[in-house]
Each structure stands twice: as C-alpha cells, then as structure tokens.
Chain A
Amino acid sequence: GAVVSQHPSWVICKSGTSVKIECRSLDFQATTMFWYRQFPKQSLMLMATSNEGSKATYEQGVEKDKFLINHASLTLSTLTVTSAHPEDSSFYICSAPRLALDSYEQYFGPGTRLTVT
C-alpha cells in the first residue's frame, strides 16, 4: 500500500492565488522529503529538499519566495505555491527516503496536478 500520501490530488486555482500541497509519510518518519515538478513528457525536476526543523534547500533557478516549503513534523511537509501563474501549472510530486540498516528506499507520493487559470 501507499506509504507517502499527497493532498490534494488535483487542484484548479485562479491566477494570483496561493495553493498548499501536503505530503505525508504514512508509516515512517522522514526527516527529509523531496519536492519535484514534472511538465508533460518531461523528466522529474527536483525543486527543493525539505528538512524537518530547518530551512529547505532549493535547487538553482527555483524561487524560494514563490515556492514556500515547511517541514513541520517528521511526517509532514507542505509546498505552497504563492501568487500562482498559468506557467506554474504542472504535476508536483513529493518523495521521502526511508533508510534501514541494509536498505535505502525512496517512496513517491501520488502527485498533485495543479492547473492555474
């Protein structure tokens, strides 16, 4: 079953408004979560690394004031797209790594499809 959830699964908003996307690890704690964006027919693009209890690390070219990330607990990270514009319409996906003694697994959320009108 799913171990990382996202909410909402899809959202339509008007240009200029803000949208919050939640990412939760369901049965494990994740001190780190990753946020990706994927445009149609393109590969996943890492936007930022969310760290519990500290500031997120943003990839080059990603505006940290536009894409606000909050990792409030060991099971929840949120991405807020502020002042959304049509070009922000995309598929946003989070993932969380789970480290064990002899394994490293990376689980993806189901994604959130954002459409800005």
Chain B
Amino acid sequence: GQNIDQPTEMTATEGAIVQINCTYQTSGFNGLFWYQQHAGEAPTFLSYNVLDGLEEKGRFSSFLSRSKGYSYLLLKELQMKDSASYLCAVVDSNYQLIWGAGTKLIIKP
C-alpha cells in the first residue's frame, strides 16, 4: 500500500528553527509537495521537490532524498503566524496526490 508518515504534532519557540520530517512509500514518485494549512482555510503551496537536495525559499527550505523515501521541511526564524498544520504529499505514478495526515506545529512565545 501507499503510506506517508509525518509527526502528528510539534512544538517550537518563536525565533527558533524546526524541522518537520516526512517519509513515504508510494507506487511511483513524481515529486513531493509541502503545504501549509491554517485552521479553517485551504492549504497553501510551500514547495515542490522532484530532485534530491535542498531547496531554499526564504525562511522555508525543503529537502528530498528519493533513495531514502524521505523529505523534511525546515522553518527558520519561527514566527507566531507559522502556527499551522504542515502537509506532506507525494505525487504517485498516476499523478495523484498521496497525503500525509499533517503535522500540527505549535509556536510558543
């Protein structure tokens, strides 16, 4: 079967750095998305990785290792507004998204 694993909840301090991990087992791989979702709102796009390595975009970076079936989202200089759920999703061989359950990130002052 297809499976995406990510931690259910994480807590971090304002101004710090946090890494949210995602491991996957899917039928085929055509890329991995990270989305941010605030309560009551639709997800918003953060990153898309299809090649191995680290991609940096401002305070957010995303890393992918296809051989390990592993990705992480790195958030730097955390702000209170970063409190949200972070969703990992893999594009499978049929170009369908396989979703993780999401990681709820709680930022404390």
Q: Is the CB of A46 within 8 A of B102?
A: no
Assess whether A35 is interfacial by the CB under 8 Å rule.
no
Complex interface residues of chain A between 84 and 108 (CB less than 8 A to chain B)? 91, 93, 95, 97, 103-108
Q: Which of A46, A104, A109 contacts B91 (CB 8 A)?
A: A104
Question: What is the CB-to-nearest-CB distance from B84 to chain A, in angstroms, rounded to a whole number?
Answer: 13
Interface string of A54-65 (1 = CB under 8 A from B): 000000000000
List 18 A-B residue pairs with CB atoms under 8 Å apart, sorted by A's residue number: A43-B87, A43-B102, A44-B43, A46-B96, A46-B99, A93-B42, A95-B97, A103-B48, A104-B48, A104-B95, A105-B45, A105-B48, A106-B33, A108-B35, A108-B42, A108-B45, A109-B42, A113-B40
Chain B contact residues, CB within 8 Å of chain A: 30-31, 33, 35, 40-45, 48, 50, 87, 89, 91, 95-97, 99-102
Chain A contact residues, CB within 8 Å of chain B: 34, 43-44, 46, 49, 91, 93, 95, 97, 103-111, 113
Beyond the given pairs A108-B35, A108-B43, 12 more chain A to chain B contacts, judged by CB atoms under 8 angstroms and listed by A's residue number, are: A43-B87, A44-B43, A44-B87, A46-B96, A46-B97, A46-B99, A93-B42, A93-B43, A104-B48, A105-B45, A106-B97, A111-B42
